[in-house]
Amino acid sequence: MKKLWITLGVIIVIVGGGLIGAGSYFYHVAIARGDKGFITQSTRLSKKSAVYREKYWYLHVKKQTWKIETPDHLKLVAWYVPNKDARKTVVLAHGFAGNKSLMGAWAGMYHELGYNVLVPDSRASGDSQGQAVGYGWLERRDDLQWAKTVVKRTRTTQIVMSGISMGAAGMTMASGERQVPQIKAYVVDSPFTSAQDIISYQAKQMYHLPAFPLVDVTSMVTQLRAGYNFREADAVAAIKKNRLPIMIISGTKDDFVPPRMGKTLYQNAHQPKQLWLVKGAGHTTAITQNYQNYKQHVASFLAQYVN
């Protein structure tokens, strides 16, 4: 009997050590700052692109560099592009493994719609400090701090909060917090429902691994090293608290953040709300599938709430 308990103890130690090791590995893959080789993004310009003009403008336009310091003492960096005498500004959040330089299509669109444009590098990305990606949860308060900075530094009276992918989820999470009075609406493209959901989905899609116990162990490692866990990074819980207009955009062929997550967020949102399922669009590709249609949908939604 004693030998049996010793054997079981050894097995538990080996399995537990293996899980912790695997959790630490996936923490470095998904959370820790660094190159995310499984995500391919490029700033390369192609004249064949539906958003070539917007990207070209963004690449060459004169930008102001803004900086803030977060309550946890990280210095974050953003680009600001004014728009004549505009009194309305968009705060635009990039996606996972992205940075401000990749947001030309959306920045150009909002500028064409008459907005000043502020595009931050999220924590642990681009020129901003930080060693852990927050899957929207850590970023949500950064986004709101940027909105406050816009009010302090400009004559802005109306703010739209917008983002893509992880930036969209972060903005959705921000919508559940106490709002800056000047914020009038949210537009989120390809948001996920929670860190737990999207990481579990990607574990299956990319690695053919079950969520339990690996994702849960990685979440524990993230709690210890980054100060949050995957279940609290919950956009569904946040959108239930939101009382501002929100537009949710999802592509029906998105295999990175499945459209069912956009549907779930919509179902849990309060009015006024709008869900636009873009037939045939992949992850954040609705804007390039038909730029003018995308621009018109966003403009029509925002025209109801922003002058």
Burial class (CB in 10 A: 0-12, 13-18, 19+), 303: exposed
Rounded Cα gap, residues 88 and 31, in angstroms: 34
**Residue that wins the pLDDT comparison between 203 and 172:** 172
* Helix, strand or coil, per DSSP, at residue 73: coil
Rounded Cα gap, residues 18 and 44, in angstroms: 41
Question: Is pLDDT above 60 for 3?
Answer: no
pLDDT in tens, 36-84: 555 556 667 788 889 999 999 999 999 999 999 999 999 999 999 999 9
pLDDT above 90 coverage of the chain, percent: 81
Sequence length of the chain is 307
The whole-number pLDDT of residue 77 equals: 98
pLDDT in tens, 163-174: 999 999 999 999
Rounded Cα gap, residues 141 and 70, in angstroms: 9
Confidence tier at 16 by pLDDT (50, 70, 90): very low
Domains of the chain by start residue, with CATH: 1-30+211-231 (no CATH), 50-194+233-303 (3.40.50.1820)
Mean pLDDT of the chain: 91
Average the pLDDT over each of 148-157, 206-215, 222-231 and give the range with the smallest value. Answer: 206-215
Confidence tier at 20 by pLDDT (50, 70, 90): low
Rounded Cα gap, residues 47 and 68, in angstroms: 35
Q: What are phi and psi of 90, to 5 degrees?
A: -105, 135
Going edge to edge, which strands form the sheet with 183-189? 64-69, 75-81, 116-120, 88-93, 158-164, 183-189, 246-251, 273-278
Q: What does the pLDDT average to over 130-157?
A: 98
Answer whether the bond into residue 272 is a cis peptide, omega within 30°.
yes
Question: Is pLDDT above 80 for 19?
Answer: no
Rounded Cα gap, residues 135 and 131, in angstroms: 13
Q: β-pairing, 183-189 with 75-81?
A: unpaired
pLDDT above 70 coverage of the chain, percent: 90
- What stretches of the chain adopt beta strand conformation (E)? 64-69, 75-81, 88-93, 116-120, 158-164, 183-189, 246-251, 273-278
Confidence tier at 210 by pLDDT (50, 70, 90): confident
Question: Is pLDDT above 60 for 8?
Answer: no
Question: Is pLDDT above 50 for 279?
Answer: yes
Q: What is the DSSP letter of 162?
A: E
Helix axis angle, 2-30 relative to 214-226, nearest 10°?
60
* Helix, strand or coil, per DSSP, at residue 244: coil
Question: Is pLDDT above 90 for 209?
Answer: no
**Residue 147 and residue 91 in contact, taking contact as beta carbons nearer than 8 Å:** yes
Average the pLDDT over each of 34-38, 125-129, 186-190 and give the range with the smallest value. Answer: 34-38
Question: Is pLDDT above 60 for 120?
Answer: yes
The whole-number pLDDT of residue 163 equals: 98
Question: Is pLDDT above 50 for 10?
Answer: no
Q: What is the DSSP letter of 177?
A: S
Q: β-pairing, 64-69 with 75-81?
A: antiparallel
The whole-number pLDDT of residue 15 equals: 40
| Triad 144, 131, 150: Cα angle to 5° | 20
- CA distance readout (Å), 196 to 16, 192, 205, 236: 21, 10, 14, 12
